[in-house]
Structure 1
Amino acid sequence: MFTGITTLTPFKKSLVFSYGIFSLFLSLLVFASGLYFYLIKDLNDQSQAAENALTHRMDEIFRELKHIVNDASLSCQKEDIGQLRHKVFYSPIFKEFGLFDDNFRVYCTNFGVNNFNIFSTIKDRIEQSEDHTTVSLVKSYILGEKTFIAFYLGKNGIGANGLAPPKSLSMDIDHLLLPDYPYELTIGKLALVSNELNMGSEILDQKNISLDDWAMTLKIILPSNVYWSKAMTLLPFGVVLWIVLWALSCALHWGFLYYRRSLPHCLRRAIRGNDMEVYYQPIVSLHDNKTHAMEALIRWRSPYHGQVSPLSIIEISGRLNLLGDLTWMVLRNVGQFYRENQKLLNNITTAVNVDRYCLLNEDFISTFTGILEEYPELKGRLGLEVTETSALSAIELPLMVSRFEHVKALDIRLSVDDFGTGYSGLDFLRRFPYDTLKLDRVFIASLKDDQFTQQVLTSITKLAKELNMKVVAEGVERKDQLDAVKELDIDSVQGYYFCAPLPYDQVLTWLVKNK
């Protein structure tokens, strides 16, 4: 089980504090930059909305002037004046209307007959305009201030002009931009509406929009005081962000530690770092009571999980596709074992378990040959124990035979491990060139009291002898089991009765004592 994760040691307390400082800095950075980019995006969005609103307002203005022109005549009778007054009364924008002819002479307004010429500069702009429209700023004696005025000349030779206070033109964009974004609306170089003079703060960003059809420019500003005002309003969210980042940082740290200490991850590192031990269990001959063979067995004590069972190692390695790496690690350890103890191990063979699907791998022979070249001491002294974990398909069967032939050609012994508990049958022994057959401990455990087991093992032993195979009984732990095995004419015994699996130094001592 994992240890040391829930107890806050001084180191971990300092780590939590460090994550608090780091997450505070990160949250300030994220909060400040996030708010800035949000306001920049909002400025762009509101600027686009303001441009659309102003364009829509100008379209309405000239649509209203076109309606006046369509209903107008070149006279300025009482009815004409009344009609203009009626238009002014119901206009949402204009406070004064006038009519002018194709000589650009204003001859009638809603106040009565008039007779004055439009400025030549305005006349030129109307004539040059594709739609015969233009706008300007003039001094209105009626409104008493500089006023927006729009001109339109119709195809019938009659033109209309309308005067409006600047506020009526900007009221559509006020609710979009104010109070956050001050703006200035100009016609030419003259300001029509300006509320950016008294901002009292620095400019963070601004947008400039040109409406060329009406010589208008809309400048929209993002002042710094808006940024700080929003920051104070959203400060509680910043605190929440800090707490979330702090918790996330700690969770990621502990999660990473958990992952590093998880059994699969530790197993992967142990295999690739050669951090496992190889134990050796002697196989004792019943003919001379001497040890001529051993089996290499993997053992591993994880720093976080304690002693891990070999079955768990094999099962997890299979899921992680690491059985090949595990096999190569064991083979290299056995090779080093023989290199360092050549004299003592000269007449002893050692078997290493190999999964069938490792043998079927296309890289098996080349990698295996490379290890034998790296450790030539293994030639003639190494055996492979193949466990019958699953049935072979019609495609896999000839491939497995080919692999076995390659292995035999390298002077390597072959054993079938745990015979009788998997998918093999008696025909299985005939198909493959095994040197040794190992009887599973399940049979040995019930050998004394089960007559049927005795008959089965007698038949298997006889067949193995006929096929020139040696027979090894696994799992012999008691004297009565040993006596029952001897009656079956089995060659060798492996089990705790003689010796448990031993680490490097202890097995050497055992071999010296039991020569």
Structure 2
Amino acid sequence: MGSVTGNSAIPTRVKRVLLVSFLFFIVILYPSYVYYELQSSLQSKGVEVKQLLQSKINHMFDEMGLVLTLPELECDKHTVQALRRASFYSPYLTELGLFNSEYRVYCTDYGKSDFPIFRSIRSRIEAADDHRSMSIALSKSIKERALFAFLYDEKRQIGINGLAPPHVLENGIDGLLGDEFGYRIAVGLEVLGQHDLLKGSTLIRPYESYIRSPDIFISVVVKDRHIVTTLLYRLPIALLVAILLYWSICTGFKVRVAKQASFDNRVRKAITNRDIDVYFQPIIDIKTSQVSSAEALIRWQSERFGNVEPTRIVSVAAKYDLMNDLTTMIIRSVGAAYRNHKGVLDNISIFVNVDLATLCNDAFIDDLRDLFSLYPELEGRLGLETHGLYLLSELEYQTTVQLINTIRQFGIAISLDDFGLGYADTSVLKSTSIDVLKLDRRFVSHFNRYDVANGDIVKQALVLANEKGIELVAEGVETSNQMERLTSLGIRYIQGYHYNRALPEREFVKVAFKNTKEANSSNTPNADTE
């Protein structure tokens, strides 16, 4: 076996996994994070642009709506002055005009006029719920493209139109988006303004939105240069995070390995020094309500690791080839129990679990001979419980059966575990010399009064057990319902919390002594039982 001190190094396979994870983080996760962050930032900026435009548009139409509240709009001196005053104080509008129900402008802040509004604009105004619209057209007064806003009061049959420079809506957008984003704003089919739209990335979906009234289309994009800059700018942080994660995982792995090595060493030492306790769980004959046999189970209360699960102890023992030592340690404790409590345990068989690898080990056979020489009390009382015969190949099975027959010559009873859930093939039972058959605890835990299929399995096992003189034991019985169902099918021997948990030696002896006393009140127990 290799020294556990070498286990603190990280295996090459784990290093490769960590390296692939590191590359995955840098090549996939980090760019993906930047992508989703930029996408989120783009959406946020797009919403801010839309809110800015919406605010300006609402402000413009509010100013135009105030003019329409004047009592008289006949294009007289007072009306013209009102139009001039409104355009003068407006931060957006430079000219204002009034149009009638026939959509002809009859008055501007220059005086009386008479010219029609385009039919397409009229259609959009009439189609809009709030009767307002915008368009871009060439202004005769300023001799350049301008933004026109229209608002119609259906009740008064009068409308107002305003003229604003195209940059009015764009002002503030560049400052809001900075140099990282491009944009385009369109009124209807006409582009009002745009900035670096063609430099936008095709990797990140652009933000697109529409202000239905008055037909404003908004598009915001992330520039390719901004993506590259962001990736490069944050790469050192990403590398640092990846390295820290790599270091943390490596350190955690080393700590875990070191802790496991420490745990393994403690278990190995406990097995070598025989510091592991052996408990005994009674198997009850329900016809006599007395202990007929028991199973020896390991328990270990470690000062450092607390109450350690038996499966962990077995795992360490198997890992370091100590199963033979662990099994013989338990048998030694069973032999000592028989010696210390003569007269009380004489008629009680105690079964010790042994895996097939240990059972088939020649060293184990030799150890059994030594133990029987040391503790002759074991003869005719010790039992070995194993499982997994149904998993063996034909050759392995035949070899194992021969070893079982050899072991039985020592006067050792053989118990076969896991029947029911692990397997339910009686062919193994027919061709193997065993003394006890155990129904698997998982099988018993799922057993109920309506379980016809499992009931048939139990009946089949009972028939074969009776034919071959095998005791059938139900393991893991915890409830009265389970016990009643099993006994109704003919099960006689019960093991589980319904009767007793696994007990320390002194408590187990008290239970056994009580049964012995009840069975034969004339027998006087040995003084050693106290």
Q: TM-score, normalised by structure 1?
A: 0.58
The equivalent of 2:68 in structure 1 is 69
Deviation at 1:133, TM superposition (A): 2.1
> 1:14-93 to 2 correspondence within 5 Å?
16=15, 19-20=18-19, 22-71=21-70, 73-93=72-92
8 Å contact kept, 1:76–1:108: yes
Deviation at 1:424, TM superposition (A): 1.8
Distance change (3 Å), C-alpha of 1:340 and 1:5: closer
> 1:228-239 to 2 correspondence within 5 Å?
228-239=228-239
- Given the alignment, which residue of 356, 361, 386 partners 1:328? 386
Distance change (3 Å), C-alpha of 1:398 and 1:20: closer
The equivalent of 1:350 in structure 2 is 412
The equivalent of 2:432 in structure 1 is 375
8 Å contact kept, 1:351–1:383: no
The equivalent of 2:148 in structure 1 is 149
Distance change (3 Å), C-alpha of 1:2 and 1:171: farther
CA distance in 2, matches of 1:272, 1:2: 11
Distance change (3 Å), C-alpha of 1:111 and 1:429: farther
What amino acid sits opposite 1:70 in the alignment?
Answer: T
8 Å contact kept, 2:181–2:222: yes
Deviation at 1:273, TM superposition (A): 13
CA distance in 1, matches of 2:319, 2:487: 30
Deviation at 1:275, TM superposition (A): 7.9
Deviation at 1:217, TM superposition (A): 2.0
8 Å contact kept, 2:210–2:218: yes
Which has the higher mean CA deviation after the structures are superposed, 396-405 or 118-127?
A: 396-405
CA distance in 1, matches of 2:490, 2:236: 72
Deviations 1:88-127 (A, max 9, x none): 2332321222222223333333344444333343334334
Deviations 1:49-74 (A, max 9, x none): 43344344433332322221111633
CA distance in 2, matches of 1:370, 1:274: 32
Distance change (3 Å), C-alpha of 1:350 and 1:274: farther
8 Å contact kept, 2:185–2:192: yes
Confirm or deny that 1:339 pairs with 2:402. yes
Q: Secondary structure at the match of 2:69?
A: helix
Deviations 1:226-255 (A, max 9, x none): 211222232232122211331254256547
Q: Secondary structure at the match of 2:213?
A: helix
Q: Secondary structure at the match of 1:214?
A: coil
CA distance in 2, matches of 1:273, 1:401: 42
Unaligned runs of 5+ in 1: 287-292, 301-325, 386-391, 409-415, 434-457, 463-472, 475-515
8 Å contact kept, 2:134–2:214: yes
CA distance in 2, matches of 1:393, 1:431: 25
Q: Secondary structure at the match of 2:228?
A: helix
Q: Secondary structure at the match of 1:219?
A: strand
CA distance in 2, matches of 1:342, 1:404: 29
8 Å contact kept, 1:132–1:152: yes
Distance change (3 Å), C-alpha of 1:139 and 1:254: same
8 Å contact kept, 1:106–1:117: yes
The equivalent of 1:220 in structure 2 is 220
What amino acid sits opposite 1:406 in the alignment?
Answer: R
The equivalent of 1:448 in structure 2 is none
- Given the alignment, which residue of 323, 339, 343 partners 1:276? 323
8 Å contact kept, 1:137–1:148: yes
CA distance in 2, matches of 1:399, 1:428: 25
8 Å contact kept, 2:414–2:435: no
Unaligned runs of 5+ in 2: 265-310, 340-347, 356-383, 391-395, 437-467, 495-502
The equivalent of 1:322 in structure 2 is none
Distance change (3 Å), C-alpha of 1:424 and 1:398: farther
What amino acid sits opposite 1:30 in the alignment?
Answer: L
Confirm or deny that 1:459 pairs with 2:524. yes
Deviation at 1:150, TM superposition (A): 0.4
Q: Secondary structure at the match of 2:181?
A: coil
Query: If you compute each CA radius of gyration, which structure gives the higher value, 1 or 2?
Result: 1
Deviation at 1:26, TM superposition (A): 2.4
CA distance in 2, matches of 1:429, 1:400: 26
Confirm or deny that 1:406 pairs with 2:492. yes
The equivalent of 2:511 in structure 1 is 424
Percent of aligned positions that are identical? 20
Q: Secondary structure at the match of 1:179?
A: coil
Distance change (3 Å), C-alpha of 1:373 and 1:104: same
Distance change (3 Å), C-alpha of 1:350 and 1:86: same
CA RMSD across the alignment: 5.5
CA distance in 2, matches of 1:246, 1:186: 50
Distance change (3 Å), C-alpha of 1:74 and 1:228: same
Distance change (3 Å), C-alpha of 1:186 and 1:432: farther
The equivalent of 2:135 in structure 1 is 136
Deviation at 1:167, TM superposition (A): 2.5
What amino acid sits opposite 2:66 in the alignment?
Answer: H
Deviation at 1:182, TM superposition (A): 0.9
Which has the higher mean CA deviation after the structures are superposed, 374-383 or 161-170?
A: 374-383
Deviation at 1:190, TM superposition (A): 1.6
The equivalent of 2:179 in structure 1 is 179
The equivalent of 2:5 in structure 1 is 3
8 Å contact kept, 1:150–1:161: yes
What amino acid sits opposite 1:60 in the alignment?
Answer: H
> 1:384-399 to 2 correspondence within 5 Å?
none
What amino acid sits opposite 1:375 in the alignment?
Answer: T
Q: Secondary structure at the match of 2:37?
A: helix
8 Å contact kept, 2:209–2:219: yes
Deviation at 1:146, TM superposition (A): 1.3
Distance change (3 Å), C-alpha of 1:51 and 1:19: same
8 Å contact kept, 1:139–1:146: yes
Deviation at 1:365, TM superposition (A): 13
Deviations 1:331-355 (A, max 9, x none): 999x988833747853x4226899x
